[in-house]
Amino acid sequence: EVQLVQSGAEVKKPGESLKISCKGSGYRFTGYWIGWVRQMPGKGLEWVGIIYPGDSDTRYSPSFQGQVTISVDKSISTAYLQWSSLKASDTAIYYCVRRPFSYGPVPGFDYWGQGTLVTVSS
Amino acid sequence: AIQLTQSPSSLSASVGDRVTITCRASQDIRSALAWYQQKPGKTPNLLIYDASSLETGVPSRFSGSGSGTDFTLTISSLQPEDFATYYCQQFDSYPWTFGQGTKVEI
């Protein structure tokens, strides 16, 4: 069974750093893209970025470029999203997502983690 | 970045109704579009990929159509469990973008 299991909720102060995780299981971790989606309170979905664990090819949305870092540890099938200096506006649920690699039909995000609530407040 | 505009933003419908949601892209995205359903307090769920392919396990009352700039998600006979917010997303070019969502209410 494919699962993406994310780390637990975090409460941080502005200016603090944070690294949240997403562990994949039940599939070949290096064969699928894994990414992150933000959902601010009461708002829609925003794509943050994505990484291909096989070669660490990483893409970011311009809205998040320079604000977050996406990384992966293949040895433990885990992806990370990190901030060096959080802002109150980073308060949101962050979902990790999986996307198949395909030369044919264009796939979507077929599996989602349960979400990690990040609250940034002084 | 490619903008996706969904319409309507919200709609009221009854069980058994046929519901249609549209997603318009600001430029040609071929068939690189997916649709998701999100129920309150829950994780989004992939319904349709490649504009018209039904994800495994998704009921056949959901269907997708379109290519280029205009796309449609249709629910042929609305069920109680279908009341949710629906999002489209394009994968044609980076940054991948979502529509603003369509809330389907009773």
- Where chain B has pLDDT below 70, the residues are none
- For residue A37, what pLDDT is reported? 98
- For residue A40, what pLDDT is reported? 98
Chain A residues within 8 A of B97 when measuring between CB atoms: 47
Tell me if chain A has a CB within 8 Å of the CB of B36. yes
SS3 label, residue A102: coil
Measured CA to CA, the distance from residue B18 to residue A85 in angstroms comes to 48
Are B98 and A45 in contact (CB < 8 Å)?
yes
Are A47 and B1 in contact (CB < 8 Å)?
no
Pairing of strands A78-83, A32-39: unpaired
Instruction: Give the pLDDT band of residue A103 (cuts 50, 70, 90).
Output: confident
Q: What is the mean pLDDT of chain B?
A: 97
High-pLDDT (> 70) share of chain A, %? 100
- State mean pLDDT over A54-82: 96
- State mean pLDDT over A37-66: 96
- For residue A105, what pLDDT is reported? 86
Tell me if chain A has a CB within 8 Å of the CB of B43. yes
Which A residues in the span 45-74 are in contact with B, Cβ-Cβ below 8 Å? 45-47, 50, 59-63
